[in-house]
């Protein structure tokens, strides 16, 4: 029997209007948005549906907005995966799906996570860039040779590695990589996520995570920092702490899931970023997206077919 993995997107997938169609179409989804509004004491749903975009793009708003939209779609889908994972922020959505943490706790945690990340490095002092057409070894070597803080922080696919750090060193490393035949594209982000410059944010978030109840996951949740399932609820908590200032090992995560028998990846949430990465990592793996009510039946059919055919 083929295994089914649900994968949840992170920051960068947000857009004004996300979640509105599923909110209108599905009662379970409406309950998720209502719970988020109550947990935060403000109308996150209005921000998702109507914007303004400038407010939605602020990381302290983006993070709860993406998690809420993803979980609204997950609850509307009404299916459980065999395994799950999320990219960066999406790891919180994966844990909500697996019952490791309560949705309301996750929404409040990622609001604080966004605030701490932005406070760790003032806007303009940090940067991120996507590097294409360079090997892992080349990217890591150039980062090590560059003066100042610049590190590989997202191993997204064989063709894409994201670097982050202080703005000057990121620019210098990008130029050096271009000199070796790579492409490097600055990313429109407000902080150098997953770099060691995020250590202050990690230290702020740790006590907040410690105050929240973590349960044993109902199904395996592959965590970014280990590219492997969290062994327990406590291990899941600890991985979310480490995740803030350490690299996202997405390519390895996908490969390990395939090795464990996953044949279908269902991306649940706004955008199709993860499906594109998975196609580049494992061309043979089937992929389906759940972004709105029109996607639900096709996703359910694909899940049933994979479980039947194996």
- For residue 229, pLDDT over 80 is answered with yes
**Does residue 53 lie within any of the structural domains?**
yes
Are 202 and 139 in the same domain? no
Are 111 and 222 in the same domain? yes
**Does residue 191 lie within any of the structural domains?**
no
Mean per-residue pLDDT, 217-235 = 98
Are 134 and 211 in the same domain? no
- For residue 90, pLDDT over 90 is answered with yes
Mean per-residue pLDDT, 120-141 = 96
Are 148 and 26 in the same domain? no
Mean per-residue pLDDT, 24-52 = 98
pLDDT in tens, 145-154: 999 999 999 9
Are 215 and 78 in the same domain? yes
Give CA–CA dist 277/192, Å, rounded: 21
> What's the pLDDT score for residue 12?
86
> What's the pLDDT score for residue 123?
85
Are 264 and 281 in the same domain? yes
> What's the pLDDT score for residue 255?
98
> What's the pLDDT score for residue 208?
98
What is the residue range of 137's domain?
A: 126-186
Please tell me the number of Cα atoms within 13 Å of 172 on its side-chain side: 16
Are 165 and 275 in the same domain? no
Using a pLDDT cut of 70, give the percent of the chain over it.
100
Buried b (16+ CB within 10 A) or exposed e, 244-279: bbbbbbbbbbbebbbeeebbbbbbbbbbebbbebbe
* CATH number of the domain bearing residue 76: 3.40.366.10
**Does residue 201 lie within any of the structural domains?**
yes
> What's the pLDDT score for residue 189?
85
- Active site residue ranges: 88, 194
Predicted TM-score (pTM) of the model is 0.97
Are 238 and 297 in the same domain? yes
> What's the pLDDT score for residue 175?
98
> What's the pLDDT score for residue 310?
59
Are 230 and 104 in the same domain? yes
Are 34 and 142 in the same domain? no
Mean per-residue pLDDT, 139-164 = 98
**Does residue 148 lie within any of the structural domains?**
yes
Report how many domains make up the chain: 2
Are 7 and 133 in the same domain? no
> What's the pLDDT score for residue 1?
74
Q: Is residue 7 within 8 Å of 267, Cβ to Cβ? A: yes
Say which residues have a Cβ less than 8 Å from residue 251's Cβ, sequence separation at least 6.
Answer: 155, 156, 157, 158, 277, 281
> What's the pLDDT score for residue 18?
97
pLDDT in tens, 274-309: 999 999 999 999 999 999 999 999 999 999 999 887
């Amino acid at each position: 029997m083929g295994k089914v993995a649900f994968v949840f997107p992170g920051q960068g997938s947000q857009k004004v209007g996300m979640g509105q169609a599923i909110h209108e179409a599905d009662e379970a989804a409406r309950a998720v948005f209502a719970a988020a509004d109550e947990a935060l004491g403000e109308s996150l749903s209005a921000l998702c549906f109507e914007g303004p975009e400038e407010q939605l793009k602020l990381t302290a708003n983006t993070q709860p907005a993406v998690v809420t939209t993803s979980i609204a779609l997950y609850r509307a889908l009404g299916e459980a995966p065999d395994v799950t994972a999320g990219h960066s922020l999406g790891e919180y959505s994966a844990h909500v799906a697996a019952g490791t943490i309560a949705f309301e706790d996750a929404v409040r945690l990622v609001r604080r996570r966004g605030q701490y990340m932005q406070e760790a490095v003032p806007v303009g002092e940090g940067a991120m860039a996507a590097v294409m057409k360079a090997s892992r070894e080349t990217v890591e070597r150039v980062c090590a040779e560059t003066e100042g803080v610049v590190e590989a922080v997202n191993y997204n696919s064989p063709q894409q590695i994201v670097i982050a750090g202080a703005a000057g060193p990121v620019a210098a490393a990008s130029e050096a990589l271009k000199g070796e035949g790579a492409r490097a594209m600055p990313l429109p982000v407000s902080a150098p996520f997953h770099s060691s410059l995020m250590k202050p944010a990690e230290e702020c978030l740790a006590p907040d995570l410690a105050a929240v109840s973590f349960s044993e996951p109902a199904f395996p949740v592959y965590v970014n920092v280990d590219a492997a399932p969290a062994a327990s609820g406590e291990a899941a908590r600890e991985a979310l702490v480490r995740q803030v200032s350490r690299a996202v090992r997405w390519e390895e995560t996908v490969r390990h899931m395939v090795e464990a028998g996953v044949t279908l990846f269902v991306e649940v949430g706004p955008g199709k970023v993860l499906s594109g990465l998975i196609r580049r990592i494992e061309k043979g793996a089937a992929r389906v997206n759940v972004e709105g009510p029109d996607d639900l039946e096709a996703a359910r059919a694909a899940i049933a077919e994979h479980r039947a055919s194996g």
